[in-house]
Structure 1
């Protein structure tokens, strides 16, 4: 087969920024970018949802020495404001021999067919993965283990800590909680490790990261004797209500009830498995109000100015915190603090953040390989229930 001339649509670059290298196939083919595609990328780079992916696409264009941009002079003469029509006209008038328009836009494919322009669909999608997804906490065979990571030897997980290797041949049981799979057991291994002060856990919904963190916190603060932990703090970003929160009636805990009810439900569930009377003010009523001396839930705004010592801190939904918020929070932590950071960079609700530019991802990117830090991607065969399993497996 001879050399092919591919012309890329915007959606192909967005779905897989590495498509240029793949389509080039070494030196076999030529790749061309319509000027209108650059204009579209320039607009999309400001979109907080996909700006991080656009930057990767732009980087691929800048670093590819053989890629060509179709003439901007002709593009400026096109009157149509429809990007698809402009890309189509640029391709037809490019002078390229037998151009092949690569697009996943079905309407554009139909339009190309009207002009007998050859079209191909690009099916090799490569979804963006953040640092907290890429670095799973497991080291592949033959690679040098990262600090506080896991590797596999003869089917057995081995913890590669600062003090050497340790096969994890046992199963943890914390506050009556037994891990449902090997990954939950390894997550507990990190949370309970005396030499690791900061742990981050990335996982999709329903794999038990919050439940495991709460069970570990209760064990460390209420049961384990040889530690300095006297209290549990749970910090959660509440960007949805922002400044309006101050106008709601009641205490801080009462104001946050719509956002932290699931925390109370999990704590009550743990209490029912094994009594945790000290974290509640009253366990006879249905309210189960937390004892602020032992268990306190705070929005991140309330942490500024505090000095946290001798406590376990759980930071939930860290993906909805900015880099500056994470830095402000972590620098509040003094002596005798165990911090458990939880989140999923694919579930960023904060409109000002994205999969790459969020607190959880920055923690993994900057702290990886520190001897007092560990990160892990939590997964497994089952999540919280069959409906959640179905959603996760189908990619809904």
Structure 2
């Protein structure tokens, strides 16, 4: 049976192509949604870009007929901008205030009541990224769904970058004897990804174990190339951190993604590796560190001063880690150090569009706040001889239209996990402090 889907504004602002995602069903856009999209189209961010894109798409679809009468889509569905089912009378009994959300709900409710009078009524479903809108719909007896088409992977199925195998002790002995293992010989029943790590543990319960890495072709398990020597005073404190350093310091892996809770060492390890590659090994000519300007909580508004002064509060977490690595004693010393080196650049992602960045070690912090489009723009800036590292915690997202399963960082992890030029690790154990680890786990 065909259905009627009433779309909330946030669905279109999240994915302008969502109007084509409902197969041969009828898609209804309430008139208030067009007004909300119009109010966003001048924004200079991803939301503004999507507002302009959906505006252009609707304008192109006008050539097929009058949108408020309904037009056929290529997938067999129908698109309609609703002007008539706007009466607030039925909804006012439950929700008195005429807000934008309630006006969208009123359209869905009026459609539902109208369909119930038909011989073969069609289900009317409201689609929204807003949890409270879905709850209100449930109160009204309307089916409501989240928009999941843009979801990259379920949170429980996210690629970790490593796995633990319990094997017979003879397998571990074989590895230490020959310094490699054949992946097919393990008879896992599933493939291993390039640069994925494997922890072998004795199935008999002894302490015998081994840490290996899948080669670029995905056919062999090999020992880690790097020892666990400190890098700029930083040494790996657990197995996942050692895996991360292996990826960060490997010159044949130009794309690395690191995810993990606060305090797991993502930023500090990456900065230490970047400083070693730029300052010690001279592999790259510059260390470029950037992060999206997305506030946590209420935005404090415009900041005074020149560009560097405006960016300083946003970039302060980076400077905190650099102060630790350079062991500066007084406030302001880190600025003198960076000015003297000249090879470390800290900036906002706002200025990266249109650039080509060759021969640099690029660190993108807080990448979970990037959309799929934004992360594509950033990774496609990487020039010849550069390495880019994306860091973030998919469970700490400040962007209003992203979640753990639909953000740009998760998108890159899943799309590149089978590529020979990339590697990923999920850091799980906090090393900042016992308090920070408890906060990440309990709060």
* Pairwise TM-score range, normalised by the shorter structure: 0.5 to 0.7
Instruction: Report deviation, 1:383.
Output: 3.4
Runs (5+) with no aligned partner, structure 1: 1-37, 52-57, 60-78, 84-127, 276-282
Task: Report 1:1-396 matches (<5 A).
Answer: 46=10, 130=154, 134-139=158-163, 141=165, 142=188, 143-154=190-201, 155-162=209-216, 164-168=220-224, 170-224=227-281, 228-240=283-295, 248-250=304-306, 252-272=307-327, 286-289=332-335, 290-291=338-339, 293-380=342-429, 382-394=430-442, 396=443
Separation (CA, whole Å) in 2 of partners of 1:183 and 1:156 = 13
Deviation per CA, 1:152-205, whole angstroms, max 9, x where unpaired?
Answer: 224212110216432239424211111111111111011111210100001011
Whether the 8 Å CA contact 1:157–1:167 is kept in 2: the answer is yes
Distance 1:284 1:45, change over 3 A: closer
Q: Which has the higher contact order (CA 8 A, sep 6+)?
A: 1
Distance 1:388 1:257 in 2: 24
Poorly superposed stretches of 4+, deviation over 3 Å: 41-48, 79-83, 128-133, 239-242
Q: Which runs of 5+ in 2 are unaligned?
A: 16-21, 24-88, 95-104, 106-151, 166-187, 202-208
Aligned residues: 292
CA distance in 1, matches of 2:436, 2:9: 33
The superposition leaves residues 14-62 of structure 1 with CA deviations (integer Å, 9 ceiling, x where unpaired) of xxxxxxxxxxxxxxxxxxxxxxxx99x96789579x99xxxxxx99xxx
Per-residue CA deviations over 1:313-362 (Å, capped at 9, x if unaligned) read: 00001111111211111111111111111011111101132222211011
**Structure 1 345/299 Cα, relative in aligned 2: closer, same or farther at 3 Å?**
same
CA apart distance, 1:293: 3.0
**Is the contact between residue 360 and residue 385 of structure 2 (CA under 8 Å) also seen in structure 1?**
yes
**Are the aligned partners of 2:353 and 2:377 in contact in 1 as well (CA < 8 Å)?**
yes
- Shift in alpha-carbon separation, 1:330–1:171, aligned structure 2, 3 A: same
User: What secondary structure is seen at the aligned counterpart in 2 of 1:288?
Assistant: helix
Secondary structure of the corresponding residue to residue 404 of structure 2: coil
The separation in 1 between residues aligned to 2:406 and 2:371, in whole angstroms, is: 7
Work out whether residues 237 and 431 of structure 2, in 8 Å CA contact, stay in contact via their aligned partners in 1. no
Distance 1:339 1:132 in 2: 26
**TM-score when scaled to structure 2?**
0.56
State how far apart, in whole Å, the 2-side matches of 1:43 and 1:327 are.
Answer: 26
Which is worse superposed, 336-345 or 156-165? Answer: 156-165
Q: Determine if contact 2:215/2:221 at 8 Å carries over to the other structure.
A: yes
Does the CA contact (< 8 Å) of 1:133 and 1:202 recur in 2?
no
Q: In 1, Cα distance between the equivalents of 2:200 and 2:438?
A: 32
Cα deviation for residue 268 of structure 1 reads 1.1
Conserved? CA contact 2:236–2:242, under 8 Å: yes
Which secondary structure state, in structure 2, belongs to the residue aligned with residue 219 of structure 1?
Answer: helix
d(CA) in 2 for partners of 1:336 and 1:255? 31
How high is the TM-score relative to the length of structure 1? Answer: 0.62
